[in-house]
Amino acid sequence: MAIGPASVSEPTEEIDTGRLEDASPRRVLLIVLAIVAATEIVPFHYSFISMSVRLIGPDFPSAGSQLAWLNTLYALVGGVAVPVAGKLSDMVGKKRVILVCLLLSTIGSAVDALTHSWTVLLVGRALQGLAFPVLAISYGLIRDLVPRRMVAVAIAVAGGGTGVGAVLGPLAGGALTDHYSWRSLFWFCTLYSVVTGLLMLLLVPETRLRVRSRLDYLGTVLLGAGIALVLVYLSRGSDWGWGRGTSLAWLIGGLVLLVLFYAWETRAPDPIMSPALLRSSRLRSLLVWAFLLNVCTQGLSYLLGYLAEGPGGAQGEALKQQVAVGAAQQAAQQSGAPLASIQQFFTINGELPGLNLTLFQFTVRILLVMSVLYVLVAPLTGWSATRFGLRLPAAACAFFFGLGSLLLYYFHGSTLQLALCALPLGVGAGIFLGTVPNMLIEAVPQEQQGASAGMYGVFGSFGSATATAVAAAVMAAHPLVLHVSTPGQESDTKLQSGALAQLSTETAYTQLFLIFAGVAVVGLVIGLLMRQYRKPATGGLQS
């Protein structure tokens, strides 16, 4: 991967996109806020399902172990839709595509709120996934409309604003599920999408930018199918077995299709994205860096949630004792021996970390502070980019993620420790949200903004799925173990079911924190080598 200096073109002639150069700051702010509000539906979709799966399951007994598909399907449809919707947004208008995505997502939310069929529930969840492209396309819309001097800061504000939904989701979801059923979460998404869609329709003008092109149908099929197969492998590999032939077939098939997609795009008359742009060192280094930082973001968020809400301390020990006694009782029934005589031989091995916080407590005590940091740091990053460039923020982002990972490696035994260690992660996330969209704008021509944002969305989806897959694999390798020490023999059995089956030992967490710290170090090195982003950000004037 070449990360040397890219050739810098002369400032391109300004394209008429309907930029509001003479608009008042108030109108510009309202437009940006309306766009940001629309993007918040995506973190709502993620957080609501994460917190409601345990409530949905009893109403759909036929689903069995397939509940994980509620998240897998959302990520799958979203990952495939992003590049296609991004290309369409360049062709027919970004606002129009955003509104269509919101409409289809709203229908999906309403379907899930009403249905009593597991199959229909999955269909609705797939329709919800079509909201995912809104995130990628929104940055291009802001680039087209906001006065050039304000683009970098406005983009950073939009990036930081998306972190708010990650906190508001658990707060709103907790309040709704405390008083109503899980269906209220989908009704909330339905009403929220309607309101924000109307705000977009009334307050946000459409960009005038249009790219004369035709949709590359073969490229779309190859790209969509390739992304889908790889994401299925990353999402379900831990359940199916990473090395099993039937699992690897998904990965290998997906990679082959993606290679065929690239080969076709070099010959296609109207490619989804210019192969020359894909080969540019500026965009390539950005995509690799963003993939690594998405791994850190998703992986650390995953671990924080597990640590905060998992049973630990006295509650964890009581739970382990309860499971050991249950195993001893089963053995006593089978052997006919008195329980008191064999109970001492059954123990659960492995230290169980966790802070026993509810989702609401986790949100208020830890995520809320991180959200404030997102909102404050992201605009500051955009402002500094217009003066000092984006290379140092990219390196700083990776540094803070690495610092937070190392701190968590040593200190994660109390709520206060977790909250303090989360502070550098909040700073890193704020820099990330303020840096990535601005780097993308500086890397690509305005007429390919939507398609390029779609390609970034693909790499982001791969990064998030990779983080979850790595975490699941390491946790599965360090389970709690039922140890039986009877006179003359000893045996260890991995817990396959019950209250402790999905929990891992302290070793799994410490190893994962080190892994994500290592990923951050690689991101730091790549960030420092991004010499293409040394110059002050121009808001996309040079591409």
Over residues 9-25, the pLDDT tens digits come to 334 456 778 888 888 88
The continuous run of DSSP H or E covering 475 comes out as helix 449-477
Q: What is the model's pLDDT at position 9? A: 39
Nearest Cα residue to 50 out of 496, 371, 355, 468: 468
Domains of the chain: 17-214 (1.20.1250.20), 216-269 (no CATH), 276-543 (1.20.1250.20)
Q: Among 480, 467, 443, which Cα is nearest to 518's?
A: 467
Which pair of structure tokens corresponds to residue 82?
């992003």
pLDDT for residue 501:
59
* pLDDT band with cut points at 50, 70 and 90 for residue 500: low
Q: Are 401 and 428 in contact (CB under 8 A)?
A: yes
CA 458 to chain centre: 11
The pLDDT score that the predictor gives to residue 12 is 45
The confidence score (pLDDT) of residue 1 equals: 37
Instruction: Decide if 103 contacts 197 (C-beta within 8 A).
Output: yes
Q: What is the pLDDT at residue 166?
A: 67
The predicted structure's pLDDT at residue 7 = 37
For residue 383, pLDDT beyond 60: yes
Query: At residue 492, does pLDDT exceed 70?
Result: no
In sign, the C-alpha dihedral spanning 508, 513, 517, 520 is: positive
What are phi and psi for residue 486, nearest 5 degrees?
-95, 160
328 in Cβ contact with 346 (< 8 Å): yes
As a whole number, mean pLDDT of residues 339-352 equals: 77
pLDDT category at 331 given cuts 50, 70, 90 is confident
Residue pLDDT, tens place only, 513-525: 999 999 999 999 9
Residue type at position 184: S
Reported confidence tier of residue 540, pLDDT bands at 50, 70, 90? low
Closest by CA to 455, choosing from 31, 155, 39, 139, is 139
Higher pLDDT, residue 303 or 541: 303
Q: Which of helix, strand or coil describes residue 494?
A: strand
Query: To the nearest whole percent, how much of the chain has pLDDT over 90?
Result: 26
At residue 202, the pLDDT reads 94
Distance CA(310)–CA(23), nearest Å, equals: 50
Beta bridge partners, 493, equal 482
Question: Which residues, in sequence order, are bridge partners of residue 489?
Answer: 486
Q: What is the mean pLDDT of the chain?
A: 83
Can you give the three-state secondary structure of 399-460, one letter per residue?
Answer: HHHHHHHHHHHHCCCCHHHHHHHHHHHHHHHHHHHHHHHHHHHHHCCHHHHHHHHHHHHHHH
pTM value is 0.82
Residue 206's pLDDT is what? 93
Which of 228, 140, 206, 188 has its CA nearest to residue 40?
Answer: 188
Q: How confident is the model at residue 100 (pLDDT cuts 50, 70, 90)?
A: very high
Write the pLDDT tens digit of every residue in 280-289: 788 888 889 9
Per-residue pLDDT reduced to its tens digit, 179-200: 788 898 899 999 999 999 999 9
